[in-house]
Amino acid sequence: MKLRPSAAWLLAVTILAAAIVLARPGASYSHQDRAEPLAAASTLHPAGTDALGRDRLTRVAAALLLSLVGATAAAAVTTLAAAGVGTLAAFAPASIGWPAMLLCDVFLALPWMFLLLMVRSALPLTTSPANSAAITFLVLAALGWPACARAVYRGALSLKRSAWMLHAHAAGLRGRQIVRYVLPNLIPLLLPQFLICVPTFVIAEANLGALGLGIGEPLPSWGGMLLELDNSAMLLQTRWVYFPVALLIAVLLLLEAVAVEA
């Protein structure tokens, strides 16, 4: 498809633009212009300011780089983990597959919020915002895989029983060789999972802020900016609160276009 290279270019341009916005002289994502909280767009603040008078454009740019990298990496890890566990459980003997899927189900039903609280209490309170961000995305990746692993397991199971697999076995292909053909067939299941995980993790990171995890102030968090949308008082004050979500949608669409392999 012709769309794919142009989407890749656009994505690169967006990231570059964000880097330029951040690197431009005088740009600070944390400086509070206290005379102008929630200001409208001006030459000084092209996208206005947030509730504390910080430049919205710079914050969005920084959040784009930070959250996008974090969420994409976490989504990739969790999708790969799900693929690994799911295919292993499907193709391994039942003595491994059965407990693996049982564990998966147990994992899905446990109240993880309390584990996150424990993680927070194990970290020192003065953990820097950047470290806290890294830990948060790591935790998200570690907790995100079971739901997808189950879907992969089912997909892999039906592949295992499919006609071409029978052919492959009959033709004398060994287990390791077969796996090589299985993974590409799981992509229709894995790719959407990956694409869904990216925005979910961006938002989940912000929700973890309530537990003392997440990206701490003054570092900007994309999820935090999205959460501004759930306060109707804020929505009526400035239209610029919609800017981060619009940009997120654009980036996700581009990601999607890049990820299209058909």
Partner 1 sequence: MTAGAAVLQWLGRTIAIVLLVMAGSTVLVRFAPGYLSDAREMDARYADAAHAELSQEAARSRSLPHMLSAEISGWARGDAGISREYGVPVSALILPRLAVTGGLLLRSILLAWTLALSASLLTTAGRNPSPFWQTPATLLLAIPTAAMATLCLLANSGGPVLVMALLLAARDFKFLHRALRTAWLDPHVLQARAQGLRARQVLRAHVLPAIAPQLAALASLSIMTALSAIVPVEVIFDVPGLGQLAWNAALNRDLPVLLAVTMIMALAVVIGGMTPDRPPEWKSV
Partner 2 sequence: MRNSIRLCAFALAILAAAPAKTCLAQAAPRMPGELAWTIGYDPKTFDPAIVDDQESEQVRYLTAGVLLRFNRLTQKVEPELAETWSVSANGRTLTFRLRLGLQFSDGSSLTARDAAWSIRRVLLPSTHAPVAEEFVSPGEVTVETPDARTVIVHLPKRVVGIGKVFDEIAIEPAGRPSQGRITSGPFFVSDYHRSLYVRLRRNPHFYARDAAGVELPYASGVRLDVLENPEQEIRLFLRGAYDVIDDLPPDYFELLRRKDPSTVRDLGPSLNTEQMWFNQAPDAPIPAWEKAWFRNRAFRIAVSQAVHRADLARIAYEGHATPAYSFISPANSIWYNRSLSAPHTDVAAAKAELAAAGFHLSGSVLEDAAGHTVKFSILTNAGNAARLKMATLIQQDLAALGMQVTVVTMDFPALVERLMHTQDYEACLLGLENVDPDPNTMMNIWLSSSPNHQWDPSEKEPATAWEAEIDRLMNEQAGALMSSERKQAVDRVQQIVADQQPFIYLVYPNVLVAVSPRLQGVQPAVLEPALTWNVEDLRLREAR
Q: Residue 129, class by beta-carbon neighbours within 10 Å (0-12 exposed, 13-18 middle, 19+ buried)? A: middle
Query: Least distance in Å: CB of 126 to partner 2?
Result: 5
Among 82, 47, 80, smallest CA distance to 244 is for 47
β-strand partners of 49: 55
Q: Residue 134 and residue 140: Cα distance in Å, rounded?
A: 10
Nearer to partner 1, 38 or 195 (CB): 195
Binding mask 103-142 for partner 2 (x = CB under 8 A): --------------x--xx---xxxxx-------------
Taking a C-beta distance cutoff of 8 angstroms, is the pair 67, 221 a contact? yes
Nearer to partner 2, 43 or 232 (CB): 232
Among 85, 65, 98, 72, smallest CA distance to 222 is for 65
Taking a C-beta distance cutoff of 8 angstroms, is the pair 115, 45 a contact? no
Cβ atoms within 10 Å of 196's Cβ, excluding its own: 14
170 binds, among partner 1, partner 2, none (CB under 5 to 8 A by kind): none
For residue 220, cis peptide bond before it (omega within 30 degrees of 0): no
Kindly tell me which residue out of 28, 32, 200, 237 binds partner 1, with binding defined by CB under 8 A: 200
Q: Residue 74 and residue 202: Cα distance in Å, rounded?
A: 10
Taking a C-beta distance cutoff of 8 angstroms, is the pair 251, 60 a contact? no
Q: Residue 223 and residue 49: Cα distance in Å, rounded?
A: 17
Q: Residue 148 and residue 223: Cα distance in Å, rounded?
A: 22
Binders of partner 2 in range 200-239 (CB under 8 A): 209-212, 216-218, 231-234, 236-237
37 binds, among partner 1, partner 2, none (CB under 5 to 8 A by kind): partner 2
Binders of partner 2 in range 2-31 (CB under 8 A): 30-31
108 binds, among partner 2, partner 1, none (CB under 5 to 8 A by kind): partner 1
Binding mask 86-125 for partner 1 (x = CB under 8 A): ---------------xx--xx-xxxxxxxx-xx-xx----
Kindly tell me which residue out of 53, 168, 227, 237 binds partner 1, with binding defined by CB under 8 A: 227
Nearer to partner 1, 83 or 248 (CB): 248
Say which residue the tokens 């009526």 belong to: 236
Contact residues: partner 1, CB under 8 A? 3, 101-102, 105-106, 108-115, 117-118, 120-121, 147-148, 150-155, 157-158, 188-189, 191-192, 195-196, 199-200, 203, 206, 223, 226-227, 229-232, 235, 245, 248-249, 252-253, 256-257, 260, 262
Contact residues: partner 2, CB under 8 A? 30-32, 34, 37, 51-53, 117, 120-121, 125-129, 209-212, 216-218, 231-234, 236-237
